[in-house]
A and B are shown apart, each in its own frame.
Chain A
Amino acid sequence: MRFVFKTDYNQDIRILKHSGYWWSYGALLAVLVAAPFLLGSYLQSQLVFVFIYAIVGVALMILTGFTGQASLGHAAFLAIGAYTAGFLQQLGVPFIVYFPVAAVLTGLVGALVGFPALRLQGIYLVIATIAFAFIVEEVLARWESVTHGNEGMRVRTLDLVGMPVPRDSAAFYFLCLLVLVGVVVLALNLLRSPTGRAFVAIRDSETAGKSMGIDLAAYKVKSFAISAAITGMAGVLFAHKMTFISPEMFTLLLSIEFIMVIIIGGAFGVHGAILGAIFMVMVDPFLTALKDDVPVLAANVASSFGMAQDAATHLQEKLSKIGSAAGLKGAIYGLIIMMFILFEPYGLYGRWLKVKLFFQLFPLYKRATFKRQKTYVKSERNR
């Protein structure tokens, strides 16, 4: 186990706390940089989706994980970013202009949505954001002169200062990686400065935050704006990755997927957003692969244990029939999510921290370390 001996305030301010961080995150970055040269185009494309989901995950982490304001309207922010990109690109605006413009515009809309948040708590805020998402979806469908309505909109190949960056290229992969890394650094910077601490204070106790001098209204609006702006950036990348956008791509279901990203990842750290994104994007192809591979594997195992050939083939057919039953994938998917909420409310990142601590403290780890204690009632009445 490592004991960090602190001699300088900068040691607490630094993002990479000690040399171990440099090694592990350096290795991760090296793997990610090497990935497009090693992986097939399918996996590379999946990774791009992981990055885009992770960017939205970080945005939602700032708003929901850190500030404690739930939102089921992030698909709408993604849509605003995507449509801004599509529309401005048609007008001949270059990427280096419409990328920040989309972020700022989405941020402004986010700030507007943030205002009702000043008066709404919990489930009521969720409903308000859902309503907002429906409004955006409807506007996208009706404002045909800009969005081409339900017909959808074609997004041309991304043009980065004269260099075309097609959706399947390694360059597009690196662009998404760069944006993700930038957003993560930005989020971590916020967290180690007064604004980030104010966000966390609002989440944990509004009353205490208020009496510590935190202007709740201002910080809630800021949190909404930052979260929306980051989601807008993801929207631009999403539009270019999909090459075609239409209103029915940005439904409530997508917003729910984004919330799942941070719940499954663990809604208390930036790591959670990324782990959750990996899970959400990869679970589908993983289940598909299982569906194809498990029957074959089972038949092979069965015949190697001495089962007759035609019985093994029969088993394989039976299993693949079960595997391709309609709705099975959705059911398994739902089951996984329920398991998470029941058994690991801290998500994948929480599980990772527990495993890490287990090895650090071996053999002294005790499960109670992570048990939440019930404490005295908070002064809810002061709200």
Chain B
Amino acid sequence: MSFFTVDGISLQFGGLKAVDNVSFSVAKGEIFTIIGPNGAGKTSIFNLISRLYNPTAGKLFFGDQDITEVPPHQIAKLGIARTFQNIELFENATMLANLLVGRHCHATTQLWQEMLFLPSVRHAERAHRRKVEEVIEFLDLQAYRDKLIAGLPYGVRKVIEMARALCSEPKLILLDEPSSGLNVEETDDMSFWIRDIRSELGITVLMVEHDMTLVNRVSDRVLALNYGKVLASGTPSEVQAHPDVIAAYLGA
């Protein structure tokens, strides 16, 4: 059984087939990228994996486990974390508070213990904080610990969102357009971080991306979609050379 498998998944909004019988599998430790023109169904696949949408057909497997029916809030606990295309940070909170929310799926303390803030809660909080600090160091975010998200630039928010996903200690991380809205330099940094996430933390990366330079630089394998259907899959150069992919992008 491979690490993560999408098996014949479809998503239908009324008459529109957003995702149409898509299958692929991701190996452990791989950086797998989904590309495609706007509206191809890339983010829909992400929303299916993080269970925000229910698939009309098909199955999702994480390891041996069928996660097609798992409620969305349990996905994080299984080890799948994600970021969003439009940055979904908690804006009126500090970066630390945001990252600590990322630790939520590891929270074990009970409500009544928390109300009284028993020593066990303090102990757990310190442990969460230590883990968050590791991520802060990994992504070089020391300067922003107590800063409110609302006051931070877009590029930094993008990194913080990735940090929040990493705080949940995932096995698989879903990055929805990690480079959108970033300048060239920030995109460079992003490509290093994505590779570090894989090589240093051993986390498998599944991402949606438009920037082909970034895709070529980091991806092991690429899947091209159009109108919800798979056009091609393989190494970045294979996919880019594929006649259907060229047709989809250039309209030839």
The reply on A193 being an interface residue by CB < 8 A is: yes
Residues on A with beta carbons closer than 8 Å to the beta carbon of B96: 12
Nearest-neighbour CB distance to chain B for A13, whole angstroms, equals 5
The reply on B40 being an interface residue by CB < 8 A is: no
Contact of B89 among A12, A192, A208 (CB under 8 A): A208
- Contact A212 B115, beta carbon cutoff 8 Å: no
Majority secondary structure, A binding face? helix
Q: Which residue of B lies closest to A372 (CB)?
A: B150
Per the 8 Å Cβ criterion, residues 73-105 of A in contact with B are none
- Contact B86 A377, beta carbon cutoff 8 Å: yes
- Contact A215 B73, beta carbon cutoff 8 Å: yes
Could you tell me the distance between the alpha carbons of A150 and B13 in the complex, rounded to whole angstroms?
54
Nearest-neighbour CB distance to chain A for B107, whole angstroms, equals 4
Q: Which residue of B lies closest to A379 (CB)?
A: B86
Residues on B with beta carbons closer than 8 Å to the beta carbon of A186: 115-116
- Contact A200 B93, beta carbon cutoff 8 Å: yes
Per the 8 Å Cβ criterion, residues 89-143 of B in contact with A are 89-93, 96-97, 100-105, 107, 109, 111, 114-117, 121-122, 125-126, 129-130, 133
Could you tell me the distance between the alpha carbons of A162 and B104 in the complex, rounded to whole angstroms?
46
Residues on A with beta carbons closer than 8 Å to the beta carbon of B21: none
Given the interface pairs A9-B129, A194-B114, A211-B82, the reply to whether A201 lies near B90 with Cβ below 8 Å is yes
- Contact B105 A213, beta carbon cutoff 8 Å: yes
Interface residue count for A (Cβ, 8 Å)?
40
Residues on A with beta carbons closer than 8 Å to the beta carbon of B74: 213
Per the 8 Å Cβ criterion, residues 206-249 of B in contact with A are none
Could you tell me the distance between the alpha carbons of A211 and B50 in the complex, rounded to whole angstroms?
7
The reply on B3 being an interface residue by CB < 8 A is: no
Contact of A210 among B52, B115, B130 (CB under 8 A): B52
- Contact A376 B105, beta carbon cutoff 8 Å: no
0/1 string, B58-97, CB within 8 A of A gives 1: 0000000000000111111100011011111111110011
Could you tell me the distance between the alpha carbons of A31 and B121 in the complex, rounded to whole angstroms?
32
Among A214, A216, A373, find the residue whose CB has the most chain B CB atoms closer than 10 A. A214
- Contact A212 B168, beta carbon cutoff 8 Å: yes
The reply on B171 being an interface residue by CB < 8 A is: no
Per the 8 Å Cβ criterion, residues 233-254 of A in contact with B are none
Q: Which residue of B lies closest to A14 (CB)?
A: B122
Given the interface pairs A9-B130, A193-B121, A193-B125, the reply to whether A211 lies near B52 with Cβ below 8 Å is yes
Contact of B77 among A9, A213, A372 (CB under 8 A): A213
Given the interface pairs A189-B115, A198-B101, the reply to whether A210 lies near B72 with Cβ below 8 Å is yes
Could you tell me the distance between the alpha carbons of A379 and B105 in the complex, rounded to whole angstroms?
22
- Contact B93 A194, beta carbon cutoff 8 Å: no
Among A9, A208, A211, A214, find the residue whose CB has the most chain B CB atoms closer than 10 A. A211
- Since A211-B52, A215-B71 are in contact, a sample of 5 more A-B pairs with Cβ atoms closer than 8 Å, ordered by chain A residue number, is A195-B111, A203-B90, A204-B91, A211-B76, A222-B111
